[in-house]
Chain A
């Protein structure tokens, strides 16, 4: 293996000649109308400073903005004209049309500019920090704000093309070359053999002027006559940074190689008709990004620089596999199944086979010693190449086996060579000869597949089917802890003393201390079947058996495959050429991979927060959010990879106050980055896109201010929760007080109810006490009184009072209203009555009326019947009471006796009258009653009514007074049934003549 110190020194001396390119090769991609561009007929392609690609077509403009393709046409303000040139200045885009002047893109709409005269634009190019525009009327410079004329003797000619470098600016009209000399523009007519030749493109390279004309590509040097390179109609010219001149012609496109034009024929796809298609513009933006605008076949993107493949066409027939690559200065030794090759100065310089002295054409491993000797492990012994002479070693010399799998020059003593062989152990070769260590010496396995060495001299041995062994010169130590596959076939020193071990089918085991850490395809490795490992000092390369090659760089695995331009997905060898160039050997040759060190642009299309959608700005204010919010960022990488390999993304964060960012996240294919902050504070989120050509985008930084939910943020939570606690405390105290008072109030209320009930009970008892406790018993009459109250204290009452002459007065009353008030009215009436018992009914009513009026009892009044019972008659009077019923036993008739008058207590001048009823025959009956019975309502709201009462009394007329009362009560009960209740007091007074 190559000494690392030498390798680093070589990085500075390596020539770009290692890379010889055929511009036909590489990876191509075609953009057609069906892929989203405006037209297949394109005129110009321009990449602006933001990394966006603009394509002028005969049907408007196409913007290829990273992953987004967008068309601009008439609806965006463009005229119906060919867009022949596009350029930008100060972030503003200008489009030149074939006959409609120049347009500028403002607010997503094109507007015609007025700073240039003339509609027919012949060219529009960036020169320095200005735009040069040539029209049919004038040639001007525009700096983004104002225009200036060329002056200094600039001819009034239509300029076709321009070229600028750090030395000068050149302009060409169809016949003349114009350049600034001694502060004055000098126009020189270029003479071509044919007078019809017109200049259509210009490029200058190393003082050689190349004129593309309608009659050939011409070159001129030192003002001599132009020399024809090839007679083709040249439409466009451009140059790569490597100095490769690319020519766009009316039919196809070419590159200039050693003074001759060679046609570019894209490989891998059927682009035959491209040789007949006009190439109107070439835009070289980098070594791996060249755009071609064609007139009929759309737009082409070509990556010629990422991979350069060397194979049998270049003299490298590896016979099916490249097993090892070893660099020595400006040459690389290539170990193959078909002998040993030497690659130097951009070509295969030498091919050694058995015919040249090699013991076998199957070369499995190489290593160089400090004297420049190349040690070669072959399938038929060991060999040493010194100059062009092979010294071979075989079993007869002491080698344990002819199949030598690995060879390693000891780092501390490069006269000592270590040899691994299949099934025959580890062999040391030095001045003493060959000495072999085998299993019986402690070697874990006799099948040795690779050997490397630590800086301290410890030998590291890949022991097939056993693991990794270390040999300190005295004893072997086996390491296999954590190693998922003990079939170790590859070894490489890591970056920090660790050892990387490639296995047959479990990826890579990294030996750190005594333990292996496995790296598999799930970690980003191309494949788990390993075939080669190589540390270039900064990056670890891992070739696989069928999965391409992976590169571990900046903590990220990249993978390159045939689809990216690699010659083979089976990679048997890798070596670094310089810091950015790596040679990769496979089944069909070698690929030279050129890493593009330039970062590409990355935009953030939008940022979705839980509440809004934000636009990204380079210097944006921190986005405010709260813990566990989800922020979704949509990046748009400005990278154009014709292989269509998907761009991946990674992100990392750091607290503003922390010195370092976290590790990058694993690569994600999703073009949306979700960020869920797990902590509070000021954060920076960094996002980077990764192109699998081992290229990174610029890093976009998005600032965040993350707080807690307001009720958890100490600033707001303490006052809030404090207030809540105070409120809860206050509420609790208030509630306790309220409950206390409520309980007290409840007790008071209950006590008051009890008191009222007691009072009511007392009043009822008092009222009941006012009723006769016993019915009068006389020889002449049966007298029965009955009362059923609807409330505790009813408004009805009855009484029997005996006059001094022994005669009886019966009264039946009903105070309006209910309850205590009516009870009081009854009491007053009864009290007053006691003094009026000797009076006749009418004077009694008059007197009671006055008494009640004087009592000012408001709306309460007293209805009253008075029956003064004489010997043979009853004098009856009423004030507001229902009719009385008189039954004449003699006539056997029941009569309703109605003496209408206002209730007592109504008006002072109330008039009362009386009726005298004959009451002399046995069986005569007088019944007085309150309205309780006639107005008793059943559940159907039907009253008993006066007629029904009358009819019942008729049926009861032959009954005793007591039986009549019972009959009336029974009827009332029947009428009410079980559901209705008596709504008013019911009172009867029944007098029956014996």
Chain B
């Protein structure tokens, strides 16, 4: 299994945080994002946009982490949005049931507008 790095950039637009993933969201690195989201939740960020534009890989473990994040965000009544998801990943996330817990948008701006509009 490849072991590239994962770097994350967080853009904060209270109460929303945009987390941009750059690298492999897999067994080796995905867990780091849990800590980031937990910190942000503690700072009263409740809505999260995860941008997969520069994400090179999401494996089952990564999806498992996303499910865990969904659990944490739901406890805060927050919302989770996925942006820049390619078709393969979108299919994977949907078959693994995440479509019921997260919304998919083409880009962060659209997700933010949707968030403001709906919530």
- Seen from chain A, the residues whose Cβ lies within 8 Å of a Cβ on chain B are 790-791, 795, 814, 816-818, 859-861, 863, 878-883, 898, 900-903, 906-907, 910-911, 931, 935, 941, 943, 945-946, 983-984
Contacts and interface: CB of A to CB of B under 8 A. Distances in A.
B27 A817 contact: yes
A903 B71 CA distance: 13
B60 interface: yes
B67 A983 contact: no
A859 B64 contact: yes
A816 B63 contact: yes
Nearest to A910: B97
Contacts, number: 78
Nearest to B65: A859
Contact of B64 (A860, A882, A910, A935): A860
Given A818-B1, A818-B27, A880-B60, 10 more contacts: A816-B61, A859-B65, A860-B64, A882-B95, A898-B94, A900-B94, A902-B97, A902-B100, A903-B63, A911-B100
B61 A880 contact: no
Interface of B: 1-2, 27, 31, 56, 59-61, 63-65, 67-68, 71, 88, 91-92, 94-100
Contacts of A790: 1
Contacts of B63: 816, 880, 903
Chain A CB within 10 A, most for which of B65, B68, B95: B95
Contacts of A901: 96-97
A900 B1 contact: no
Contact of B96 (A817, A860, A902, A911): A902
A255 B30 CA distance: 116
A859 B31 contact: yes
A205 B2 CA distance: 117
B44 to A, nearest CB: 24
Contact of A817 (B56, B60, B67, B92): B60
Given A818-B27, A859-B31, A984-B1, A900 B64 contact: no
A900 B61 contact: no
A154 B59 CA distance: 123
A882 B92 CA distance: 7
Contacts of A911: 100
Contacts of B91: 946
Nearest to B91: A946
Contacts of B64: 816-817, 859-861, 903, 906
A943 B2 CA distance: 14
Contact of B95 (A861, A881, A984): A881
Nearest to B30: A859
B99 A983 contact: no
A907 B71 contact: yes
A931 B60 contact: yes
Contacts of B59: 935, 984
B96 A903 contact: yes
B85 to A, nearest CB: 15
Nearest to B1: A983
A411 B88 CA distance: 134
Contacts of B99: 900
A142 B114 CA distance: 108
A943 B87 CA distance: 12
A867 B31 CA distance: 33
Chain B CB within 10 A, most for which of A879, A935, A941: A935
B61 A863 contact: no
B1 A902 contact: no
5 contacts: A900-B97, A900-B100, A902-B98, A902-B100, A935-B59
A816 to B, nearest CB: 4
Given A816-B61, A946-B91, A983-B2, A861 B97 contact: no
A817 B68 CA distance: 14
A97 B59 CA distance: 105
Given A818-B1, A903-B97, A910-B97, A931 B92 contact: yes
A911 B2 CA distance: 33
B61 to A, nearest CB: 5
Nearest to B34: A859
B112 to A, nearest CB: 26
A880 B67 CA distance: 11
A880 B88 contact: no
Contacts of A900: 94-97, 99-100
A878 B68 CA distance: 20
A323 B27 CA distance: 118
For the complex of A and B, 3 pairs with smallest distance between CB atoms: A902-B97, A880-B96, A816-B60
Contacts of B100: 900, 902, 911
Given A790-B1, A983-B2, A984-B1, A906 B67 contact: yes
Given A818-B1, A983-B2, A984-B59, A898 B67 contact: no
Given A816-B60, A903-B64, A863 B31 contact: no
A794 to B, nearest CB: 12
B1 A861 contact: no
B67 A903 contact: yes
Nearest to A982: B1
B61 A817 contact: yes
A745 B56 CA distance: 39
A471 B99 CA distance: 138
A882 B31 CA distance: 23
A903 B60 CA distance: 9
Contacts of A903: 60, 63-64, 67, 96-97
B8 to A, nearest CB: 18
Nearest to B96: A880
B26 to A, nearest CB: 9
B89 to A, nearest CB: 10
Contacts of B71: 906-907
A878 B59 CA distance: 18
A863 B95 CA distance: 10
A813 to B, nearest CB: 11
A902 B61 CA distance: 13
A906 B61 CA distance: 12
A983 B99 CA distance: 26
Contacts of A882: 92, 95
Given A818-B1, A903-B96, A861 B27 contact: no
A931 B68 CA distance: 21
A936 to B, nearest CB: 12
A50 B61 CA distance: 98
Chain B CB within 10 A, most for which of A859, A903, A935: A859
A859 B61 contact: yes
A901 B63 CA distance: 12
Contact of B67 (A818, A861, A883, A943): A861
A328 to B, nearest CB: 116
A790 B27 CA distance: 14
Contacts of B92: 882, 931
Contacts of B61: 816-817, 859
Contacts of B60: 795, 814, 816-817, 861, 863, 880, 903, 931, 984
Contacts of A878: 95
A860 to B, nearest CB: 7
A901 to B, nearest CB: 4
A564 B114 CA distance: 115
A882 B59 CA distance: 12
B73 to A, nearest CB: 12
A774 to B, nearest CB: 29
A946 to B, nearest CB: 6
Contacts of B2: 983
Contacts of B31: 859
B111 to A, nearest CB: 21
B71 to A, nearest CB: 7
Contacts of B56: 941
A560 B1 CA distance: 100
Nearest to B93: A900
Contacts of A883: 95
Contacts of A935: 59
Contacts of A943: 88
Contacts of B27: 817-818
A945 B88 contact: yes
